[in-house]
Structure 1
Amino acid sequence: MEKLHAALNVQVANWSVLYTKLHNYHWFVKGPFFFTLHEKFEELYNEAADVVDEVAEKLLANGGTPIATMKEFLNVATIEEENGKLNANDMVSSLLADYKKLQAELKALAELADDEDNDSINDLAVGLVAKLDLHIWMLTSYLGE
């Protein structure tokens, strides 16, 4: 169970960093797609906040302790925060890379949960993978790739 707890805390950290990064993008996006991206980034940071809560509660329900400070998030996260100096397309590209990384980690988490016969954590991870499938497709389409 210790490996599952650690993997869940990586997700708590990543989605917390992502929440802040998306706020950064929401505030600093400029250009002809401002209105579209400003609104989309808000939708995505609200989703990230919900995911943080869901993952942390799943961790607590399974006897773990979620990390809960910015310092811990930055130390544990596998994605990086942003400084607000990217152009709109680079923001989308960075977010796409983050989502792909999260998706790979969530697939590994689902496998680990399956190996440990923990259906509820497996379901959580698989559900998030499905959500990311859609985001990855949309962001890739936005970039014209």
Structure 2
Amino acid sequence: MGKNFIGLDTEKTQALAGALNELLSNYQIFYMNVRGYHWNIKGENFFELHAKFEELYDDLLLKIDEVAERVLTLGHRPAHAYSSYIESSDIPERKDVSDGKEAVANIVESFGKLIAKQRSLLNLAGDAEDEGTAALMSDYISEQEKTVWMYRSYLGQ
């Protein structure tokens, strides 16, 4: 059982990097979906949702960078081709969505998938004694759970 340059088990960090790359793929597709919602939104809540979607995609872009840098920190290469993202994302690509409620429902669904993946990563990180990945996932989960509550409230759920 070898250790990598930051003192973590190499086999466990390889599994973590793979799971982080899968998470990265989901974030990338989600990011592009939200950009589309921002660009194409129409209707009475246009101004509110246009601004909210921009806030969301700015946050997603930061997380994309953090996840990719975590893969690098573990000594692996982050996925960086959209063909790879499409292949391994559980979040489907959404096209031509202009209805606010549909966009918000898609966002809630996408966050559900991200949170589940991050919970799984939290367990993998704990098993690998990888505090850095665990802390990142924990922060994302607690922030996104509140975000889901807010978006669900918008939907009247």
TM tier, smaller: over 0.9
Asked if the contact 2:71–2:77 (Cα under 8 Å) also holds between the matched residues in 1, the reply is yes
How much does 1:81 deviate? Answer: 1.2
Q: Which amino acid aligns with 1:45?
A: Y
Match of 1:8 among 13, 17, 20: 20
1:83-132 residue CA offsets vs partner (Å, 9 max, x unmatched): 11352101100110100111011011001100111010000111110111
Residue matched to 2:97: 85
Q: Tell me how many residue pairs correspond in the alignment.
A: 145
In the aligned structure 1, how far is the partner of 2:51 from the partner of 2:98? 17
Partner SS, residue 31 of structure 2: helix
Listed as ranges, the gaps of 5+ residues in structure 1 are none
In the other structure, the counterpart of 2:136 is: 124
SS at match of 2:75: coil
Q: Secondary structure at the match of 1:32?
A: coil
TM-score by length of 1: 0.97
- Of residues 53-62 and 76-85 in structure 1, the stretch that sits farther from structure 2 once superposed is 76-85
Query: Quick one: percent identity of the two aligned structures?
Result: 32
| Residue 20, structure 1, aligned to residue 10, structure 2 | no
Instruction: Give, as a single letter, the amino acid of the residue that structure 2 aligns with 1:115.
Output: D
Structure 2 unaligned spans of 5+: 1-12
- Computing the radius of gyration from Cα coordinates, the structure with the larger value is 2
- Shift in Å, 1:19: 1.0
Large movers: runs of 4+ above 6 Å = none
Q: Please tell me whether residue 109 in structure 1 is matched to residue 121 in structure 2.
A: yes
Q: 1:40 aligns with which of 52, 57, 82?
A: 52
Q: Within 2, Cα distance between the matches of 1:141 and 1:42?
A: 19
Question: Equivalents in 2 of 1:36, 1:47: separation in Å?
Answer: 17
